[in-house]
Each structure stands twice: as structure tokens, then as C-alpha cells.
């Protein structure tokens, strides 16, 4: 299916977004991180004034400094945690829309640090929702996760399927969805949860054992080092380029109708196995014989993950801008040393 996706052309939809965001003040939590910085860049490019809150614990200082320099007067930073109400209130001042991207990310890290993951992600999202209300924001767009589905067997995953979270990370992100819905229905804070399916792209950190698989494998293969495949390598993911996640956020922020805490999948609608991913990356990087080591299944790992994206299309008009293959090419053309480059690929 993904091969037939038509890239979104600079169309009336982009004009609508430009009109909507021009001179609009919005907030991005985690705006110095991987997805958040791409989103901040795209919003500033559309003319918005973007207030970022980030504690810089999992992000690159040079990246946010680069954005502030590139968009003078349009990007600002409050250095602070989403657990700090005063920092949130400063960041959200006069912001109509809050894009909540900040989180402790990573399934394996959550297995090592379950309480901290719950604390930061679940209480953090609660504090973000409270601060958004208090500041008079009218919409909260939340970065949810496909991990919520866990090992539910049916594929592709639809939002009406029961959730079966398998890790503290998945539980914490799912709890955030409930916060968004409860604050929408109970307090009238318009909100939506975007269930991201394995987002990858330029600038994704590759240097930690907790790094997402594409960034990690690309960096290792390029360095001529071995990659470790957990389990048989036949587990699959709906790898989604960050341009698609940014697009979904822009559409959600600008959606004209009320959002009542709905949950929608943001993916490509195409699944790729980890073994195939190794082959694709090796092909593109010109590595003849990739060194592959095998390790036991990773605790908390989901077997298959593949999105049905009809609901996002219906609610937001979302369609993937880039297929998995196109996204991979774009990431590799940007070069793989994402940490030091500190460069945000141009979005949208
Ligand atoms: C999960 C979520 C995803 C979320 C992410 C945040 C699911 C289906 N997806 O990603 O939406 O954004 O958490 O961290 O739950 N792998 C290897 N070798 C490695 C690294 C990973 O074989 O060195 C395998 C893993 O075992 C896994 C797959 O690659 O099967 C993807 O792993 P990873 O990139 O860490 O993401 P998920 O845990 O799937």
C-alpha cells in the first residue's frame, strides 16, 4: 500500500496551514528533542511564534540554539521540566495550542526505570494538561504511542481494538491518552492523541543502547560495526518518517472542529521486519555483508505493529507525506551523524 502513497504536493492544504499558523503563538513541550525540534522548525517556517519547554535531558542544545538563530523572534526556550508547573506556565503564556512531545522515550529504558517512566510521562502529561487549562490554551495535541496496542493479534491495528500495553512505557503513554480525553470531556480542553508508529528520521539520536532501531542500525552499519537483532528478526514495525508525524501535528493543531480526546494512529500503513530493515539499510549504505549478531527477545517487545490510518484521515485529513522507503532515503541523504550535525531536516 505504501508504495502507492502520493506525496502531498504544496497544495491548498499548505496554504491553509500557513494562514492558520501565521503569527499564532503555540507551545511545544520537548521542542529540543527529535520529533519536537522538527515540529518546532515546521511551525516557525509557517510563521508561528513557538514557545519551547525542554529540560535538555534528552535533547541537543545546539539543535534548539540553531532553531532560535534561524527564526529570530519566532522560537524561544524555557529550560525546565514538564514536572515544574511554574516553567510550564511561563512557556504556555498566551499560547492557544500546546503540542506535547516531551517524554521519557524507549521501551527498554522503561523496563529499567519503570517508576521514573510512569512519573515523568503520566504525571508530566497531567501537569501539561493542567497548565494548558490554566493558561487559557484551547487545544492540546498529545504524542501518544503505538505501544498501547501491545500484542493484540489482529493487524493492522485500529483504534477501537483493546489496548494491551506490555511495558511501563506503553502504560505511561496510554495513561496520557486518558488524561487528554478526561481533560477534554471534563474540563473542556480540546484535545487529541496521535498514536505514533515508530518515528524515525534525521536527527534521531543513535548513540545509546536505548536509541530507536533505525538510527542505531544505520550508525553501526556505516561505522562497519555489527548490529544486534533481538529475537528472530521477523518482528515488524510500521516505520514512519518524522515528516509524517509533523504533518499530523500541524493538521491536528489546525483542525476546525472540536476535538474531544479522540485517539488516531499516525503511521504509513506498511510493515517492515527488522531483518528486512537490516538488508535495506545495508543496500543503501553499500555494505556488502552486514555483520548481524542475534540476542534473545527483548523484554516488553511487541511482535507486530502495523497501523490502520483511516481514522486519522477521516478526522484530520492525514496522509503520509513519505513512504518508509522515501523516508529512509531522505534520512540517509541527510547523513547519519545525527547528534553532532544538530541539523533539522527541512519539513513540509
Ligand atoms: C516503541 C513503540 C513506538 C515508540 C517507541 C519509543 C511499539 C510497537 N512501538 O518502539 O511507537 O515510538 O517505542 O521508544 O511498541 N531492535 C533490535 N536491535 C536493536 C534495537 C531494536 O533488534 O539494537 C528491535 C526491537 O527488539 C524491536 C524493534 O527493533 O522489535 C524496534 O525497536 P525500537 O526501535 O526500540 O522501537 P519499539 O520498541 O518498537
Work out the mean pLDDT of the chain and round it to a whole number.
92
The structure's pTM equals 0.94
pLDDT, tens digit, 9 for 90 and up, residues 247-279: 999 999 999 999 999 999 999 999 999 999 999
Whether 302 lines ligand 1, by a CB cut-off of 6 Å, is yes
pLDDT, tens digit, 9 for 90 and up, residues 101-147: 999 999 999 999 999 999 999 999 999 999 999 999 999 999 999 99
Confidence band for 4, pLDDT divided at 50, 70 and 90: very low
Q: What is the pLDDT of residue 251?
A: 98
Whether 212 lines ligand 1, by a CB cut-off of 6 Å, is yes
Among 20, 28, 13, smallest CA distance to 348 is for 13
Cα-to-centroid distance, 227 and ligand 1 (Å): 14
Is pLDDT at 10 greater than 80 in this prediction?
A: no
Measured distance CA(233)–CA(51) in Å, rounded: 41
Cα-to-centroid distance, 75 and ligand 1 (Å): 31
Q: What is the pLDDT of residue 5?
A: 27
Whether 215 lines ligand 1, by a CB cut-off of 6 Å, is no
308: CB partners within 8 A, 6+ apart: 156, 157, 158, 159, 265, 269
Q: Out of 36, 104, 107, 293, give the residue to mutate to test ligand 1, the one with the largest number of ligand atoms within 8 Å of its CB.
A: 107
pLDDT, tens digit, 9 for 90 and up, residues 286-332: 999 999 999 999 999 999 999 999 999 999 999 999 999 999 999 99
Is pLDDT at 344 greater than 80 in this prediction?
A: no
The residue nearest atom 7 of ligand 1, judged by CA position, is 147
When pLDDT is averaged across residues 34-60 and rounded to a whole number, the result is 95
pLDDT, tens digit, 9 for 90 and up, residues 49-60: 999 999 999 888
Is pLDDT at 9 greater than 70 in this prediction?
A: no
Confidence band for 209, pLDDT divided at 50, 70 and 90: confident
Q: What is the pLDDT of residue 135?
A: 98
Cα-to-centroid distance, 327 and ligand 1 (Å): 17
The C-alpha torsion from 199 through 304 and 262 to 32, rounded to 10°, is -20
pLDDT, tens digit, 9 for 90 and up, residues 143-185: 999 999 998 889 999 999 999 999 999 999 999 999 999 999 9
Q: What is the pLDDT of residue 7?
A: 33
Among 199, 207, 239, smallest CA distance to 37 is for 199
Amino acid at each position: 500500500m505504501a508504495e502507492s502513497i502520493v506525496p502531498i504536493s504544496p497544495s491548498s492544504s499548505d496554504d491553509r496551514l500557513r494562514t492558520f499558523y501565521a503569527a499564532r503563538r503555540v507551545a511545544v513541550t520537548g521542542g529540543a528533542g527529535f520529533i519536537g525540534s522538527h515540529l518546532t522548525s515546521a511551525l516557525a517556517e509557517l510563521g508561528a511564534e513557538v514557545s519551547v519547554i525542554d529540560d535538555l535531558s534528552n535533547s541537543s542544545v545546539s539543535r534548539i540554539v540553531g532553531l532560535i538563530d534561524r527564526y529570530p523572534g519566532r522560537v524561544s526556550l524555557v529550560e525546565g521540566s514538564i514536572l515544574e508547573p511554574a516553567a510550564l506556565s511561563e512557556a504556555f503564556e498566551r499560547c492557544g495550542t500546546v503540542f506535547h512531545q516531551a517524554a521519557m522515550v524507549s521501551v527498554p529504558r522503561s523496563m529499567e526505570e519503570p517508576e521514573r517512566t510512569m512519573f515523568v510521562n503520566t504525571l508530566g502529561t497531567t501537569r501539561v494538561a493542567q497548565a494548558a487549562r490554566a493558561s487559557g490554551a484551547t487545544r492540546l495535541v498529545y504524542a501518544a504511542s503505538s505501544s498501547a496496542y501491545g500484542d493484540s493479534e489482529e493487524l493492522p491495528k485500529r483504534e477501537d481494538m483493546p489496548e494491551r500495553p506490555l511495558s511501563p512505557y506503553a502504560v505511561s503513554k496510554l495513561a496520557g491518552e486518558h488524561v487528554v480525553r478526561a481533560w477534554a470531556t471534563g474540563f473542556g480542553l480540546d484535545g487529541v492523541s496521535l498514536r505514533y508508529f515508530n518515528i524515525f528520521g534525521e536527527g534521531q539520536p543513535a548513540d545509546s543502547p536505548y536509541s530507536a532501531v533505525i538510527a542505531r542500525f544505520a550508525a553501526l552499519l556505516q561505522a562497519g560495526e555489527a548490529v544486534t537483532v533481538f529475537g528472530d528478526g521477523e518482528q515488524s514495525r510500521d516505520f514512519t518518517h518524522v515528516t509524517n508525524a509533523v504533518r499530523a501535528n500541524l493538521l491536528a493543531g489546525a483542525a476546525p472542529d472540536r476535538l474531544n480526546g479522540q485517539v488516531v494512529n499516525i503511521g504509513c500503513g506498511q510493515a517492515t521486519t527488522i531483518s528486512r530493515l537490516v538488508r535495506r539499510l545495508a543496500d543503501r549504505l553499500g555494505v556488502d555483508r552486514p555483520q548481524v549478531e542475534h540476542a534473545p527477545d527483548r523484554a516488553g517487545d511487541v511482535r507486530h505493529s502495523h497501523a490502520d490510518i483511516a481514522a486519522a484521515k477521516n478526522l484530520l485529513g492525514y496522509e503520509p507525506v513519505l513512504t518508509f522507503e522515501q523516508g529512509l532515503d531522505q534520512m540517509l541523504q541527510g547523513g547519519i551523524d545525527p547528534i553532532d550535525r544538530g541539523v533539522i531536516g527541512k519539513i513540509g
